[in-house]
Amino acid sequence: LKNGKTIGDIELHDLFGDAVLIDLSNTNKNTITSEILHKKIKQINYSATPKILLIKKHTNTKTLRFKEEALKWIVDNGFKVVGTSCMSIEASSMLEAHLVLLSKDVYIIENLNLDSVYEGLFYFIALPLNITKCDGAPIRAILISSELNSIG
């Protein structure tokens, strides 16, 4: 993204907060639509408004494919982070999904280990290495169950 943010420009508070994890491992469709996102998220009962969307796919799924309207839905619903268990959020070398999301200040986290995590609401923390002049960096990801988060 021309003139895009570097790791040093990111507001760290955007990288932690309520997260909704949807499991698309059993979805036969290769392309993610806004209808799929809306339906899966509606099935999860939550009171908080999550700002982080986590998408789990089969461990052998290398990339996600988003329809353009699904990317718009993500932005319009106020998500600040999209994370996935896949190596990339797209198969295209043109990086259209990256450009759409990053141009709207929606950060992308790829290659998360979500194998043993179930669908639901969590508290997510992403701690990137402070490599200030780069547009990406390795992170330490922490996912806290909403059940543990509510223990007082």
> Is 90 exceeded by the pLDDT of residue 37?
yes
In order of 5, 6, 58, 99, the CA distances from 2 in angstroms are 9, 11, 33, 9
> Is 60 exceeded by the pLDDT of residue 1?
no
Query: Mean of the pLDDT values across residues 75-95?
Result: 87
Alpha-carbon distance of 26 to 40, in angstroms, equals 12
Provide the pLDDT for residue 126.
Answer: 96
Alpha-carbon distance of 3 to 99, in angstroms, equals 12
**pTM of the complete model:** 0.89
Q: List the structure tokens of 89.
A: 């959020």
Alpha-carbon distance of 110 to 12, in angstroms, equals 17
Class of domain 7-149: alpha beta
Alpha-carbon distance of 55 to 101, in angstroms, equals 15
Percent of the chain with pLDDT over 70: 90
Report residue 133 CA to chain centroid gap. Answer: 23
Contacts (Cβ under 8 Å, ≥6 apart) of 137: 7, 128, 129, 130, 131
Question: Between 7 and 137, where is the model more confident?
Answer: 137
> Is 90 exceeded by the pLDDT of residue 5?
no
> Is 90 exceeded by the pLDDT of residue 150?
no
> Is 80 exceeded by the pLDDT of residue 94?
no
